[in-house]
Amino acid sequence: MNYNVPLSVKLNDGHFMPTLGLGTSAPIKVAKSKVEEAIQIAVDVRYRHIDSAYMYLNEEEIGRAIRKKIANGTVRREDIFYTSKVWSTFSRPELVQTCLERSLKKLQLSYVDLYLIHCPMSFKVSRLQTAWLRPDRALYKLPFSPVFQPGEEIFPKDTHGKIIFDTVDLCSTWEAMEKCKDAGLAKSIGVSNFNRRQLEKILNKPGLKYKPVCNQVECHLYHNQSKLLEFCKSKDIVLSAYAALGSDPAKEWRNKNSPVILEDPVLNVVAEKHGQTPAQVALRYQLQRGVVVLAKSFREKRIKENFQAFDFHLTPEDMKTLDGLNRNMRYFEDAEFANHPEYPFLDEY
Ligand code: NAP
Ligand code: WDT
């Protein structure tokens, strides 16, 4: 049996995506300079895939780190696979490219390798903010910001503190994504946090020009997404896994009282048997089942450790044992979102 996992996979649009990516979202209290350090270390360790988003508010630091590694000759731009995501306050088709252009400006890069719809749920910016986003409005040209930068509220709230939902047809957002690809600002386009119905809505869109190349979803030993994975494989869509290590309880959006994957006794037995760490086994599990996996760490030791998921293999019996840990438990789901018409997590998958 061949246990080798490739360092990258071919996407349905012909581009290649490295199978292990560095996650970059950290709790707000973490200094932004940490991500700049982490990326330089990761590139030295041979990571070539970096996952971020407009919403993570770290793209200036990431761009600096990437440009430093290019300037010192470690890599060329074309060796790096950089992912960004359009945030949910920019889901309206006329705002999608604005969000991408803002990311590129912060990054000081001319394109992203992958641009994702971050989330199928859209949120509404205030009327004033929307007006400011339009270049034909005088306000947009003001060199200073009287109150806040347009569209900078990640979760716009009403006077009762409730997130203001918007309803934007996902197909119209997708058409704007296709334009970003045609404009050369994104090499590939995809989605995140979509369920099967939402994916099918895009796939069945009349006049579809490009299929999503991937769906980035929560995926780990306690929620292994076997059905969504099978569906994605049948459509030649890559499933990429976030929170593959169980995420970070310090994160604002992560459930606080959920069990910790890396402490799972069964996982620890498998890890000990192979002389590997639980994190390496959790990552290797995804690689061997054909999932592209993200792992966030800002510590040199762990960044290196996680990349060594390429250096051993799990047996079919190990894989079966690990499959048995599934319990359909999400770290990322929020009661406040559950009333959104595009809330993705009510369907079975
Ligand atoms: P994760 O990668 O599952 O876990 C990160 C946590 O694990 C951090 O606390 C990290 O701490 C720790 N860790 C990393 N390597 C370790 C190791 N070898 N041993 C022990 N602990 C280790 O969680 P995540 O950051 O939530 O998800 C990964 C990435 O997916 C994100 O960074 C982001 O890029 C993306 N994401 C996307 C979405 C979406 O909606 N599309 C949602 C969530 C996440 P240290 O940093 O201190 O090492
Ligand atoms: C479920 C709940 C899915 C955190 C919230 C998506 C939160 C996106 C991260 C992220 C959400 C969200 N992250 O990287 O830590 O869109 O609010 O990418 S979210």
Q: How far is the CA of 75 from the centre of ligand 2 (A)?
A: 30
Reported residue count of the chain is: 349
User: CA–CA separation, 17 vs 176, rounded Å?
Assistant: 22
State the catalytic residue, choosing from 47, 56, 82, 343: 56
What is the value of pTM for the model shown? 0.94
User: CA–CA separation, 65 vs 52, rounded Å?
Assistant: 13
User: CA–CA separation, 269 vs 264, rounded Å?
Assistant: 9
Q: With contact defined as beta carbons under 8 Å apart, do 107 and 66 qualify?
A: yes
Q: Which atom of ligand 2 is nearest to the CA of 88?
A: 16
Q: Is the CB of 304 under 6 A from ligand 1?
A: no
Query: Which stretches of the chain score pLDDT less than 70?
Result: 1-2, 126-152
Q: With contact defined as beta carbons under 8 Å apart, do 83 and 156 qualify?
A: no
DSSP conformation class of 126: P
Q: With contact defined as beta carbons under 8 Å apart, do 24 and 51 qualify?
A: yes
Q: What is the pLDDT of residue 160?
A: 81
DSSP string, 141-199: G-SS-SSS-TT--SS-B-TTS-B-EE---HHHHHHHHHHHHHTTSEEEEEEES--HHHH
Q: Give, for ligand 1, the residue of 155, 217, 248 to mutate: max count of ligand atoms closer than 8 Å to Cβ.
A: 248
Q: Is the CB of 245 under 6 A from ligand 1?
A: yes
Q: What is the pLDDT of residue 87?
A: 96
Q: What is the pLDDT of residue 190?
A: 99
Bin 295: left if φ > 0, else alpha if -120 < ψ < 50, else beta.
Answer: beta
Q: What is the pLDDT of residue 157?
A: 83
Which run of H or E residues covers position 8? strand 8-10
Q: What is the pLDDT of residue 143?
A: 41
